[in-house]
Structure 1
Amino acid sequence: MRKKCTKIVIVCMSVLTLAACNDDEFSQDDFSQDDGDFTAVAPVPANLQSGMPEEKPKEMLSVADPTPPEVWLLSLYQQKPEHDPDRDVFYYQSLLDKILPHVHEDKRVVSNRLVQVTRQLADKGIKADQDELLVDFAHYLPAVNEKYVFGELIANYSNLRQQNIDHEQAMKTLFELI
């Protein structure tokens, strides 16, 4: 039985070897670009003709991103035209420290949700500011006795804002409902 298995393996390997030898190989000539019978699908956009565009700001902080959330929030704030040059990382750290004991998420997720909902509302033409949200959540959350899912709180805030409710009223309504 062993000899029979060995013969079968040898025959199979021989067949595979012969089959591989018959493959047509492509030469470099098959891919030459001297023909000149190809055209570009579209011209290069003007903003890319001089190199890569400016770096787009981060939409969210990934888990692998080593940037501390408070540093990221500060960098977003500093992009505003009338920012306070004296504001520092500790400002954001203290606000996040007031929120974190009352939510299940960590500061990276809280920061991401703040920025995400602000941008989503802005895309719908609703003025929202992540710094104002951060300040108000840091103000309201310490008054509650339970822990909440921050993602749900911010989603409910977003829903209220989309009902043509201003920021202050949306925050008051949100915390009256919880």
Structure 2
Amino acid sequence: MRTRLILAGLAVSALGLAGTLLLNARDPDGGGMAPRAPVAGPDVTPAQGADAWLDVNDPRPPALWLVRRTHRFSESSEDMRVEQVSALLTGAERAYHENRRMIANRVAQIVDVTGEHGTPLLPEKILADLALPEEVGRQWLGIVAQAYIELRRSGRAHDEAVQMVRQRVGEGVTRK
């Protein structure tokens, strides 16, 4: 009984510490979690201010926010792109545990990382390439995105990083 009480106390302490760390990681304006500042590549200026992160209180639809955030990299019409990104976000909601807004934030983070390595990829490409088959079960996009980002930062090209992430997902390495 005493061991259980000690373990319970440790668990509560750990949760309190985690909560404190999360609260301290919030952005200074009180919005969502502060994103890591992207590094500008030769063809990209990272989104600043309101476009850096889609806050939980932001009224814009995630698809519209993603398209407008990357408009300078595409010559397609905004309406057509919003429709395509919206459909891809719907598919991503089935493949990942995160909600539409968080998926959009993760995709924006990946757009910024691809910009570190040249011309940023469009959200449409990222969402399509990181779409998962139903048979692998729902995943956490945060884990998949981090695996992709680390592979890109270690010198892998986009297609190679996507292939490696898909292989890891299929083997169950990215599940938590």
User: Partner of 1:84 in structure 2?
Assistant: 76
Match of 2:57, SS state, is: coil
User: Partner of 2:142 in structure 1?
Assistant: 151
**Which consecutive residues of structure 2, in runs of 5 or more, have no partner in the other structure?**
1-47, 170-176
- RMSD over equivalenced CA pairs, Å: 2.1
8 Å CA contact retained: 2:95, 2:134:
no
- Which letter maps to 1:83? E
- Percent identity of equivalent pairs: 24
For the structure 1 residues 119 and 77, does the alpha-carbon distance in structure 2 shift closer, same or farther, using more than 3 Å as the test?
Answer: closer
CA distance in 2, matches of 1:74, 1:127: 16
**Which consecutive residues of structure 1, in runs of 5 or more, have no partner in the other structure?**
1-54
How much has 1:126 moved relative to structure 2?
A: 5.3
8 Å CA contact retained: 1:157, 1:174:
yes
CA distance in 2, matches of 1:163, 1:126: 15
8 Å CA contact retained: 1:100, 1:107:
yes
Among 144, 157, 168, the residue aligned to 1:177:
168
For the structure 1 residues 128 and 77, does the alpha-carbon distance in structure 2 shift closer, same or farther, using more than 3 Å as the test?
Answer: closer
Query: Could you say which structure has the larger radius of gyration?
Result: 1
Aligned length: 120
CA distance in 1, matches of 2:136, 2:85: 23
How much has 1:142 moved relative to structure 2?
A: 2.4
- The Cα offsets for residues 45-76 of structure 1, whole Å up to 9 and x where unpaired, read as xxxxxxxxxx8561011000000001111212
CA distance in 2, matches of 1:88, 1:158: 24
How much has 1:147 moved relative to structure 2?
A: 1.0
Q: TM-score, normalised to structure 1's length? A: 0.60
- Which letter maps to 2:156? I
Is 1:66 the counterpart of 2:59? The answer is yes
Structure number with the bigger relative contact order (C-alpha 8 A, sep ≥ 6) is 2
Q: TM-score, normalised to structure 2's length? A: 0.61
- The Cα offsets for residues 103-132 of structure 1, whole Å up to 9 and x where unpaired, read as 11011001101112322453x445542332
CA distance in 1, matches of 2:160, 2:53: 27
CA distance in 1, matches of 2:113, 2:106: 10
CA distance in 1, matches of 2:68, 2:99: 19
